[in-house]
Chain A
Amino acid sequence: SQTIHQWPATLVQPVGSPLSLECTVEGTSNPNLYWYRQAAGRGLQLLFYSVGIGQISSEVPQNLSASRPQDRQFILSSKKLLLSDSGFYLCAWNPGGRNEKLFFGSGTQLSVL
């Protein structure tokens, strides 16, 4: 069966520090991968998605970047965190076909102080 792993679960970082969140999927190949952010009172916002290795699409301009160095690995990064980067970050995947729902990781609660 397929599983998605996301870490760390909680992160507290000072403003201006770098960020690296990692997400891996097991039990499938060539998944679509997604990064969402959930800020307080704002619902879920799609940040990046990837349909293959090295293919990244960004949905909103921001201080973050994403990379997909391997088929089942998706990384969210920042060179210098801002206060506004605080939030709950969720990685998700689906098999990429029609009618496919998203499966979410356990999330990372990021607090930038």
Chain B
Amino acid sequence: ELKVEQNPLFLSMQEGKNYTIYCNYSTTSDRLYWYRQDPGKSLESLFVLLSNGAVKQEGRLMASLDTKARLSTLHITAAVHDLSATYFCAVDNRYSGGGADGLTFGKGTHLIIQP
């Protein structure tokens, strides 16, 4: 069974600081996704990482993928209040060995950035 674990699950930080969210997964995969969810809202795609060593950046967020370590990171640089949200990583089920479709999500990291 494919397992996706994020940490931390909850993070409170001050504006201007840097921090990293970690996503570990239990099976071989060369595709990993990061999503953002605002309270009461749907999920918005942030990054799609398609190969080992992939790095993508959008504004103050940067995501990377190490398929050998089965680890992805989401790094936040000089955080601002608008980045407060819950961030999910997800791995493609088709690599879980069971042939299932869809994505398996981590539990999410609830990020609060205080002024």
A101-B33, A109-B40 known; A43-B105 Cβ under 8 A: yes
Closest residue of B by beta carbon distance from A32 = B101
- How far does the alpha carbon of A105 sit from the alpha carbon of B44 in the complex, in Å? 10
- How far does the alpha carbon of A107 sit from the alpha carbon of B31 in the complex, in Å? 25
Whether A57 is near chain B, meaning CB under 8 Å from some CB there, is yes
Asked if residues B50 and A99 are in contact (CB atoms below 8 Å), the reply is yes
Whether A113 is near chain B, meaning CB under 8 Å from some CB there, is no
Interface residue ranges, B against A (CB under 8 Å): 31, 33, 35, 40-45, 48, 50, 88, 90, 93, 100-108
Other than the known A57-B100, A104-B42, A106-B41, what 5 A-B pairs have Cβ atoms closer than 8 Å? A34-B102, A46-B100, A49-B100, A104-B35, A104-B44
Interface residue ranges, A against B (CB under 8 Å): 32, 34, 36, 41-44, 46, 49, 51, 57, 59, 90, 99, 101-107, 109
